[in-house]
Amino acid sequence: MDTPPPLADFGHVTDWVFDLDNTLYPPQVCLFPQIEARMTAYVMRALKVERAEADHLRNHYWQLYGTTLAGLMHEHGLDPGPYLIDVHDVSMAALRPDPDLRAEISALPGRKIVYTNGSAPYAERVLDARGLSGLFDGIFGVEHADYHPKPQPRAFETVFARAAITPARAAMFEDDPRNLVAPRAMGMRTVHVAPEPAPAPQIEYHTADLTGFLRALRHARHTPRNP
């Protein structure tokens, strides 16, 4: 639901986990279509198939395994290193710094973490283009999950263990509802960040405005309670 979050639901949170693509920048930026085009081209070269088949496999593996990479690794033994470098070699020209978002994330009490199905070097480039560099206590990519992607529970378990996150004291912000199933089951607060809500039991809150959502939390923390 896109309503001001009650402080009681987030007052215990000490670790704030943010997805990257279409979460820390708006989806209308259309950065991810660049990546998808490079994925299709990579599949064409790696599997020696035509564009239509490569595009089908890219989407099929994403649906079945959580990421195209996971499908390529599982079904074709693909080396993930060169793939991650190639598909994330995209232009950041469409991204703009967001000082308001930076201020609201900075004001959150506790640690701030980025966890993406992309690579950590790619995440660092996006954060730099958004003016969010140096803001997070940890940046974790699919390589830190031993290449197991969200939404697989073991991916979250691996990254959260490495980041020393206690799910019962954490919140997860994500644009893909599938990627909130495991965090919710682990006891995290879950916030779906997307233009439109997607009612699902794993989603506790929805917002189309991450900055506004975090601002509401900050104001709630600093509003005196009636005796």
**Domain termination residue (choose one: 87, 112, 128):** 87
In a domain, 227, yes or no: no
Residues 164, 141 within the same domain:
yes
Residues 11, 120 within the same domain:
yes
Measured in whole angstroms, the distance separating CA 170 from the mean position of its chain's CA atoms is 15
In a domain, 1, yes or no: no
Instruction: Say which residue the tokens 């989603």 belong to.
Output: 203
Phi-psi region of 134 (alpha: psi -120 to 50; beta: other; left: phi over 0): left
Q: What is the pTM of this model?
A: 0.91
Q: Can you tell me the distance from the alpha carbon of 169 to that of 3, in angstroms, rounded to the nearest whole number?
A: 22
**Domain termination residue (choose one: 69, 87, 105):** 87
Per residue in 62-77, pLDDT tens?
899 988 999 999 999 9
In a domain, 125, yes or no: yes
- With a cut of 90, say whether residue 163 has pLDDT above it: yes
In a domain, 16, yes or no: yes
The CATH number that applies at residue 41 is 1.10.150.450
Spatial contact of 171 and 16, defined as CB atoms under 8 Å apart: yes
Spatial contact of 180 and 172, defined as CB atoms under 8 Å apart: yes
Domain membership of residue 213 as a residue range: 7-26+96-222
Q: How many domains does the chain have?
A: 2
**Domain termination residue (choose one: 87, 107, 127):** 87
Please tell me the predicted confidence (pLDDT) of residue 227. Answer: 45
Residues 216, 173 within the same domain:
yes
Task: Return mean pLDDT, the chain.
Answer: 93
The CATH number that applies at residue 103 is 3.40.50.1000
In a domain, 73, yes or no: yes
In a domain, 2, yes or no: no
Per residue in 128-162, pLDDT tens?
999 999 999 999 999 999 999 999 999 999 999 99
Residues 125, 157 within the same domain:
yes
